[in-house]
């Protein structure tokens, strides 16, 4: 059974309705690692609905959190805004919005593209609308008990003047420089380091609860029953442990079912982090790979399994793996699915599907081939023409053409921004003189051999590949030497795309012409 169906079954057994919550602080570019949370939540949400469970998905944007420091991507002038809520800081761009909106807007657009449609609840609005007022009142009235739980469960000592509320100073605008010291419902009395003293009304956005109280308070007023979150929160004595005891012992409700997920690590750089700049943003990921493939990355991996993401050649492997799952979905007619491949495919699709009925199988081109072709042709018409010849495709359906066009734009972005240098190439119109002058005797011998064999074979990838191998070996030439000879005269380098397919995309006479030029004929 797919991991999402296991969780959905547990939700069904516990009754309903269910409210699945996800969220993050928009302090910087929201990266693929962050997106694992909302994708995990959506996949569970879909699985629950497939079991006819009443389920709603929420995205809680923690935009009322303070800016903690001047991150590497910010101008130094943002030092004046450190400590202020993200919802009240000017945007780093020229959009005229807030800091939080600047980072949330592209993320929410990406979420829409992924087929995720959550109810979005910014925490600044939730506080302003008084949604936190009731749990805040209960927690403030029971602050001694709260303190005892936090100290016992987390194992850390709190300051003597600790008070479970962070007031926002109306004078300096900071939410991290105030000290609350008393409570006269509904007002919290506080002093600020800037010298201001005042009273904060818990029924509005005069301040907020600290994180380990904000979380159970959110569960309380929203009625959260399931929540994915990162492994840091799940550590022994961590925020999930403290929040769970607080909601049980003080707010008298049960904590939500937890879905703990591992980090997505960037190959060679460790876990992604917005503050350190070690990221592939969700926006960039959707520019270089189709949305169903990003969903697939999350759907095929158990939440507790860490993911090593390679935005270079790993992207090609990921897309081709998705295509294999898609092919299996349509061509394997058996009812059994021991590896959950069909279920993984269903949960990966942007549009909600249940089975093959009414679903069209789309003609896919191997992503590596598409990378090669995209660098050889300038428009879709020529791309389709070459594919019809090289892949033997008579015609494309509209959906297949739409996918091809979208994937081509993804490849363009990937080539420009993430592709390893060795993948990019420029095809010579004819071999330059300096390349010809540098051809060694063994390379020239390989080209002479190919000049004899290539004119008479079928001009397709397999036949070309076989001719190169068999023709080279029959003349005691290492096929690797022949490959190098072609790459030198066509691309000016020692390596390149898979040669059989590469040559098949070109006109045979043009290939032979370039060989003759190289041989001085």
- What average pLDDT does range 69-89 have in this prediction? 95
Prior bond of 347 cis (ω within 30°): no
Tell me how many domains the chain contains: 4
Flag whether 68 is in a domain: yes
pLDDT at 515 over 60: yes
Which of 423, 449, 469 is the last residue before a domain boundary? 423
∠ CA 358-361-364 to the nearest 5 degrees? Answer: 160
The answer to the question of residue 153 being in a domain is: yes
pLDDT at site 355: 73
Low-confidence winner among 107-111, 396-400, 405-409, 417-421 (lowest mean pLDDT): 396-400
Residue linked to tokens 């699985």? 47
Q: What is the pLDDT of residue 274?
A: 62
Query: Quick one: the chain helix, strand, coil %, rounded to 5?
Result: 50, 15, 40
Q: What is the DSSP string of 161-190?
A: T--S-EEPPTTT--SSSEEEEEEETTEEEE
C-beta separation of 159 from 198 below 8 A: no
Q: What is the spatial distance between Cα 134 and Cα 251, in angstroms, rounded to a whole number?
A: 10
189 and 151, same domain (yes or no): yes
- Tell whether 226 and 311 lie within a shared domain: yes
Question: Which domain CATH number covers 506?
Answer: 1.10.10.350
Residue 275 has pLDDT above 60, yes or no: no
With contact defined as beta carbons under 8 Å apart, do 211 and 239 qualify? yes
Residues 84 and 188 in one domain: no
24, 80: one domain: yes
Average pLDDT of every residue of the chain: 92
- Does residue 428 lie in a domain region? no
> Is it the case that residue 30 has pLDDT exceeding 90?
no
CB atoms within 10 A of CB 169: 25
| Three-state secondary structure of 409-433 | HHHHHHHHHCCCHHHCCCCCCCCCH
409 burial level (CB within 10 Å; 0-12, 13-18, 19+): middle
Model confidence at 281: pLDDT above 90: no
- Residues 257 and 379 occupy one common structural domain: no
Same-domain pairing of 378 and 494: no
For β-strands 264-266 and 307-309, DSSP reports them as parallel
**Whole domain around residue 141: which residue ranges?**
133-208
Place of tokens 């076989």: 466
Based on the fold, state whether residues 115 and 140 are members of the same structural domain.
Answer: no
In a domain, 245, yes or no: yes
Question: Do 195 and 343 fall within a single domain?
Answer: no
Tell me: do 15 and 101 sit in the same domain. yes
Q: Is residue 167 part of a domain?
A: yes
d(CA 188, CA 201): 6
Q: Between vectors from CA 24 to CA 94 and to CA 192, what angle results, nearest 5°? A: 75
Does position 259 have pLDDT exceeding 90, yes or no? yes
pLDDT at 161: 82
Furthest-apart CA pair in the chain: how many Å?
Answer: 97
Rounded distance between C-alpha atoms, residue 125 and residue 101, angstroms: 13
| Residue 462 in domain | yes
pLDDT band at 354 (very low <50, low <70, confident <90, very high): confident
d(CA 124, CA 276) in angstroms, rounded, equals 25
On whether both 112 and 165 belong to a single domain, the answer is: no
Tell me: do 346 and 379 sit in the same domain. no
Residue 229's beta-bridge partner residues?
Answer: 260
| pLDDT given at position 283 | 87
Percent of the chain at pLDDT > 90 equals: 79
449-465 average pLDDT score? 94
Percent of the chain at pLDDT exceeding 70 = 97
**Tokens found for residue 216:** 């159970």
**Residue 499: DSSP 8-state:** H
Same-domain status, 158 and 297 = no
Q: Looking at residue 34, which CATH number applies to its domain?
A: 3.40.50.620
Domain assignment present for residue 292? The answer is: yes
Q: Which residue, of 361, 378, 403, is where some domain finishes?
A: 361
* pLDDT at res. 392: 67
pLDDT band at 38 (very low <50, low <70, confident <90, very high): very high
* Confidence (pLDDT) at 277: 57
Final residue belonging to a domain, choices 208, 225, 254: 208
Domain membership flag for residue 309: yes
Residues 194-217 have pLDDT tens digits of 999 999 999 999 999 999 999 999
């Amino acid at each position: 059974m797919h991991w999402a169906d296991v969780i959905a079954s547990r939700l069904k057994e516990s009754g309903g309705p269910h409210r699945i919550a996800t969220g993050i602080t928009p302090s910087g570019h929201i990266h693929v690692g962050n997106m694992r949370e909302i994708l995990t939540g959506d996949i569970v949400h879909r699985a629950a609905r497939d079991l006819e469970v009443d389920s709603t998905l929420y995205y809680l944007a923690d935009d009322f959190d303070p800016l903690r420091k001047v991150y590497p991507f910010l101008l130094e002038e943002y030092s004046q805004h450190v400590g202020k809520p993200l919802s009240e800081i000017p945007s780093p761009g020229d959009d005229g919005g807030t800091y939080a909106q600047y980072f949330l807007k592209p993320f929410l657009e990406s979420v829409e593209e992924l087929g995720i449609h959550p109810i979005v609840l910014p925490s600044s609005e939730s506080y302003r609308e008084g949604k936190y007022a009731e749990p805040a009142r209960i927690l403030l009235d029971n602050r001694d008990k709260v303190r005892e739980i936090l100290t016992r469960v987390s194992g850390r000592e709190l300051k003597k003047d600790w008070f479970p509320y962070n007031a926002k100073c109306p004078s300096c605008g900071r939410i991290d420089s105030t000290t609350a010291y008393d409570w006269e419902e509904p007002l919290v009395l506080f002093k600020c380091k800037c010298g201001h003293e005042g009273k904060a009304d818990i029924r509005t956005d005069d301040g907020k609860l600290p994180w380990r109280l904000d979380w159970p308070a959110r569960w309380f007023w929203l009625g959260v029953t399931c929540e994915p979150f990162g492994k840091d929160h799940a550590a022994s004595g961590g925020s999930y442990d403290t929040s769970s005891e607080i909601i049980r012992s003080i707010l008298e409700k049960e904590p939500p079912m937890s879905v703990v997920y591992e980090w997505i690590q960037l190959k060679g750089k460790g876990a992604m982090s917005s503050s350190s700049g070690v990221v592939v943003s969700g926006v960039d990921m959707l520019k270089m790979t189709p949305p169903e493939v990003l969903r697939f990355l999350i759907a095929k991996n158990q939440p507790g399994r860490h993911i090593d993401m390679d935005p270079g050649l790993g992207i090609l492997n990921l897309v081709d793996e998705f295509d294999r799952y898609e092919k299996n979905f349509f061509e394997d007619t058996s009812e059994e699915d021991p590896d959950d491949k069909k279920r993984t495919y269903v949960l990966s699709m942007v549009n909600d599907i249940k089975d093959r009925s009414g679903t069209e199988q789309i003609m896919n081109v191997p992503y590596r081939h598409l990378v090669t072709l995209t660098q050889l042709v300038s428009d879709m018409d020529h791309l389709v023409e070459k594919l019809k010849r090289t892949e033997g495709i008579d015609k494309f359906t509209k959906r297949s053409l739409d996918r091809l066009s979208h994937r081509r734009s993804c490849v363009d972005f990937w080539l420009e921004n993430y592709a390893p240098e060795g993948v990019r190439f420029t095809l010579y119109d004819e071999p330059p003189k300096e390349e010809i002058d540098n051809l060694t005797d063994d390379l020239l011998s390989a080209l002479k051999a190919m000049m004899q064999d290539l004119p008479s074979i079928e001009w397709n990838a397999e036949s070309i590949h076989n001719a190169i191998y068999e023709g080279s070996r029959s003349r005691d030439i290492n096929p690797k030497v022949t490959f190098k000879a072609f790459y030198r005269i066509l691309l000016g380098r020692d390596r390149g795309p898979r040669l059989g397919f590469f040559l098949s995309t070109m006109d045979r006479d043009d290939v032979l012409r370039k060989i003759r030029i190289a041989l001085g004929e």
